[in-house]
Amino acid sequence: MNESNYIVESYDQLFFNELKIIYEDVFNRKFLEKEAYNKRFRFNGKYSSYLLIEKNTKKIKGHIGFKIYNFNEKYGGLIAFRYSTFILDEIRGKGIYQSFFNE
């Protein structure tokens, strides 16, 4: 497995249906509705979630989403919590997630 076979892209709504199918397959439970996804993973008008895309097939192979909050209104600063993180079984155990997360 070669890490250069993958790219990391910021989430776009065009990916929602494919992401929903993959998430439900990986976790065997319902995914967020589109409105809930947008609420959880948008901060200041930008998505705070990322997709691991296989270059050859253009298919989603992983997802990392961050819910970002203002840490302290008075002094500033942000804090993020990681949600809905996964890598498909077919590429687990090959170090791809670590590279994806650090991207």
Round to whole Å and give the CA distance between 30 and 33: 9
**Cα dihedral 11, 50, 52, 35 sign:** negative
Question: Which pTM does this prediction carry?
Answer: 0.83
pLDDT of residue 3: 60
Quick: pLDDT tens for 36-94: 999 999 999 999 999 999 999 999 999 999 999 888 878 878 888 888 888 888 888 87
Contact 7, 61 (CB under 8 A): no
Round to whole Å and give the CA distance between 21 and 17: 6
